[in-house]
């Protein structure tokens, strides 16, 4: 039982798994050998998990790409199994989808019997220690590999990992080191449902005022509701007015308020990057900014906590293609 060391740079590793994930989400998974069934030619071999293939995706043996489906209840790509079979005289790659650590070990054990041997390659999405000190172009590519993901799998998010991500968000810089960010962490389904409901009411009211057709409003509100509820965590980022200096004049009061907003935005970016480094997906939404009072009332927040944004987190249910960015010369002025 081993773990294959990878010598690729961190960004290259991330892109490899991202590209493979695109194949997974674009194809139909066919399970032709259910968990507990026997191999058609070797009845002594019992499949510990559901086993099948990705329809239309070729593999090294000339057939379609094989895949194990685990008990996590989602099709997230978690690992690869590399096998060598002396009886068949071949080597193959197999995908492990929605596999818990226990599932992965069960598959690895099953694949190391008779004339076959295998190694497990867990998905490595974390930034390795010292990666930030590698070639600048590698770190830049990793930054650019982050995507805004709005569809999530139902794979649970470990509470300890969520706390770790928030600790990373709280390491953001802020003016005067006031740390104005406050996090309302909706990790339970009930809290996310409540958030989706209060934001939906405000969203519907605004769209009605805009004169939008009733059916279009219904579809947009429902899409927003599903998006929030499908995430495994929804974090409302607030700016605490009590962390701001008080000035007698309006210009400095406005500047102080803006500095708090900037601090919260930087914490939000840290949160998204920490999630990306952990193999999670996320997206920044501005909905709470349009319904601050409703969000405060729904969660009994202090009046000084001003909702600014919403970060949804979870394991990706999609892998969006890169979006075009403005050229640097169009957004930068070198003097």
Look up the domain containing 289 and give its range.
147-314
Do 306 and 235 lie in one domain? The reply is yes
Do 115 and 155 lie in one domain? The reply is no
Q: What percent of the chain has pLDDT over 90?
A: 56
Mean pLDDT (the chain, rounded): 86
At 73 the pLDDT is 61
Return the residue matching tokens 């081993």. Answer: 2
Do 98 and 181 lie in one domain? The reply is no
Do 220 and 84 lie in one domain? The reply is no
Do 166 and 307 lie in one domain? The reply is yes
Q: Where are the beta strands (DSSP E) in the chain?
A: 29-33, 50-58, 64-69, 77-85, 90-97, 116-122, 181-186, 233-240, 281-285, 305-314
Do 99 and 163 lie in one domain? The reply is no
CB-based contact 93:119 (threshold 8 Å): no
**What's this model's pTM, rounded to 2 decimal places?**
0.65
- C-alpha to C-alpha distance for 181 and 58, rounded to whole angstroms: 49
Q: Residue 201, CB half-sphere, CA atoms under 13 Å: how many?
A: 11
Do 152 and 272 lie in one domain? The reply is yes
Residue 76, in any domain of the structure: yes
- C-alpha to C-alpha distance for 181 and 105, rounded to whole angstroms: 41
Q: Are strands 90-97 and 64-69 parallel, antiparallel or unpaired?
A: parallel
Do 163 and 229 lie in one domain? The reply is yes
From residue 208, give the alpha-carbon distance in Å to each of 84, 204, 289.
Answer: 62, 6, 18
At 11 the pLDDT is 47
Do 88 and 219 lie in one domain? The reply is no
Residue 36, in any domain of the structure: yes
User: Residue range 71-86: average pLDDT?
Assistant: 83
Residue 195: how many other CB atoms lie within 10 Å: 24
Do 159 and 254 lie in one domain? The reply is yes
At 8 the pLDDT is 45
User: Residue range 154-183: average pLDDT?
Assistant: 91
CB-based contact 78:122 (threshold 8 Å): yes
Q: What is the CATH number of the domain that holds 54?
A: 3.90.80.10
> Looking at the 3D structure of the chain, how many domains does it have?
2
Identify any residues that bridge with 79 across adjacent strands, giving them in sequence order.
96, 122
At 300 the pLDDT is 96
Assess whether pLDDT exceeds 90 at residue 89.
no
User: Residue range 49-75: average pLDDT?
Assistant: 83
- C-alpha to C-alpha distance for 209 and 63, rounded to whole angstroms: 57
Assess whether pLDDT exceeds 90 at residue 332.
yes
Any idea what the Cα angle at residue 14 is, between residues 9 and 18, rounded to 5°? 150
Residue 194, in any domain of the structure: yes
Assess whether pLDDT exceeds 50 at residue 110.
yes
**Which of 60, 88, 122 finishes a domain?**
122
User: Which of 53-62, 72-81, 182-191 tops mean pLDDT?
Assistant: 182-191
Residue 163, in any domain of the structure: yes
Assess whether pLDDT exceeds 80 at residue 39.
yes
At 136 the pLDDT is 54
- Grouping H, G, I as helix, E, B as strand and the rest as coil, residue 328 is helix
Among 138, 77, 144, 124, CA closest to 322: 144
Residue 75, in any domain of the structure: yes
Q: Residue 226, CB half-sphere, CA atoms under 13 Å: how many?
A: 10
Tell me the two tokens of residue 124.
């490595």
Assess whether pLDDT exceeds 70 at residue 125.
no
**What pLDDT, in 10s, does the model give residues 279-328?**
788 999 999 999 999 999 999 999 999 999 999 999 888 778 788 889 99
Among 324, 230, 225, CA closest to 282: 230
Do 234 and 102 lie in one domain? The reply is no
Assess whether pLDDT exceeds 70 at residue 10.
no
- Grouping H, G, I as helix, E, B as strand and the rest as coil, residue 175 is helix
- C-alpha to C-alpha distance for 143 and 77, rounded to whole angstroms: 21
Q: Residue 218 phi/psi, 5° resolution?
A: -60, -45
What does the DSSP assignment read for 251-273? Answer: HHHHHHHHHHHHHHHHHHHHHHH
Do 97 and 186 lie in one domain? The reply is no
Give the pLDDT band of residue 12 (cuts 50, 70, 90): low
């Amino acid at each position: 039982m081993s773990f294959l060391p990878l010598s690729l740079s961190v960004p290259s590793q991330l892109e490899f798994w991202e590209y493979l994930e695109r194949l997974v989400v674009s194809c139909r998974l066919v399970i032709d050998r259910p968990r507990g069934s026997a191999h058609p030619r070797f009845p002594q071999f019992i499949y510990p998990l559901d086993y099948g293939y990705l329809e239309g995706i070729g593999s090294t043996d000339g057939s379609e790409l094989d895949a194990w489906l685990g008990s996590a209840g989602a099709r997230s790509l978690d690992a690869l199994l590399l096998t060598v079979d002396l009886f068949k005289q071949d080597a193959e790659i197999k995908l492990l989808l929605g596999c818990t650590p226990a599932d992965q070990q069960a598959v690895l054990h099953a694949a190391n019997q008779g004339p076959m041997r295998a190694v497990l390659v867990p998905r490595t999405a974390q930034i390795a220690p010292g990666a930030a000190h590698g070639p600048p172009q590698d770190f830049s590519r990793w930054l650019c590999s982050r995507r805004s993901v709005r569809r999530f799998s139902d794979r649970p998010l470990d509470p300890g990992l969520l706390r770790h991500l928030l600790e990373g968000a709280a390491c953001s810089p802020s003016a005067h080191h006031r740390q104005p960010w406050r996090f309302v962490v909706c990790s339970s389904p009930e809290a996310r449902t409540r958030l989706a409901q209060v934001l939906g009411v405000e969203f519907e009211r605004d769209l009605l005022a805009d004169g939008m057709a009733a059916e279009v409003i219904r579809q947009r509100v429902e899409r927003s509701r599903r998006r929030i509820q499908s995430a495994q965590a929804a974090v409302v980022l607030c700016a605490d007015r009590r962390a701001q200096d008080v000035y007698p004049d309006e210009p400095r009061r406005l500047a102080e308020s803006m500095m708090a907003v900037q601090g919260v935005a930087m914490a939000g970016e840290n949160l998204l990057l920490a999630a990306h480094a952990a193999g999670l997906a996320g997206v920044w939404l501005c909905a709470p900014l349009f319904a601050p009072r409703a969000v405060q009332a729904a969660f009994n927040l202090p009046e000084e906590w001003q909702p600014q944004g919403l970060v949804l987190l979870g394991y990706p249910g999609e892998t969006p293609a890169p979006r075009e960015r403005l050229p640097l010369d169009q957004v930068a002025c070198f003097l």
